[in-house]
Amino acid sequence: MKCRVCGKEMKVYDTISDNVTEVTSFFLKPCYKKNIVLKLYKCIEEGCGHFQISNDLDEDYYDDYDIVYNPEQDLENLGYPKTLLLFYQSLLKDVISRYKIGDSLLDVGCGSGEILEIMSPYFKNCVGIEPSKKCCKLAKRKGLNVINDTFNNTVDFSDKYDCITCFMVLEHIEDLKGFIDSIYMNLADNGVAVINVPNGKKIIENAMYSDVFQEHLNYFTAESITKLFENNRFNIVSVETCYTDDL
């Protein structure tokens, strides 16, 4: 297997059996498990150290995707926990202040639009893009500007954006280079991309294999996510652990 970050060969790091295979299931009670074996690979290239699994998902897997953080399975429970939303709002307000960015925001993988809602007072133009029909339905019900599509270079945005956010999405992406290139192409000059992913190093080093899901293809370390963006024309401002030690 080739590393999705640097393209080098990877080696099998571990084999994981009988884990929760969908993020959605992780938040429901009880958590149902499937008898599935996941091989976890590690890149041995110096300065990378990326972890990943193979992509065995159907092509239309995300068409009706949702995240349910509460046991009640209805549209109103889709989205982020309130404490995480407050963290994201504080983070983005700091980014606006620190980098003096403009007035347009694109949230990639926007789900049902929570980031757009909390940041609409701070940006004149807030747009989201999301592949899930179910999540887009709720976002549009809120009156939010959301595109129901997969994020790539074939999507025709009318403008470039001063700030692009991508929270808890990159771990799901197989074509990382193409995805990062799409972020770059849609970012305005002197714009800022704000990325948040689970801390793969913490998950792997502590054998937190209940956090290894079939839909989470990538497990980033600070080194591998830095390498990914530097290899794709970005200048890295900072890489930090935050919230519950995510990156």
DSSP string across 116-159: HHHHTTT-SEEEEEES-HHHHHHHHHTT--EEES--STTS--SS
Beta strand 146-148 with 161-167 is: unpaired
Q: What pLDDT band is residue 18 in, cutting at 50, 70 and 90?
A: low
State the pLDDT confidence band at 210, using cuts at 50, 70 and 90: confident
Between 18 and 132, the higher pLDDT residue: 132
- In this prediction, residue 79 has a pLDDT band, given cuts at 50, 70 and 90, of low
**pLDDT tops 60 at residue 158:** yes
User: Dihedral of CA 190/193/199/204: which sign?
Assistant: negative
Tell me if residue 12 falls in helix, strand or coil. strand
Average pLDDT over residues 128-135: 93
User: Residue 61 has what pLDDT?
Assistant: 85
Residues 202, 195: Cα–Cα separation, whole Å: 17
The per-residue b/e assignment along 5-30, b for 16 or more CB within 10 angstroms, e otherwise, is: bbeeebeebeebeebbbbbbebbbee
**pLDDT average, residue stretch 170-174:** 96
- Return d(Cα 26, Cα 243) in angstroms, integer: 19
Q: Band the pLDDT of 64: cuts 50, 70, 90.
A: confident
Alpha-carbon distance of 126 to 163, in angstroms, equals 10
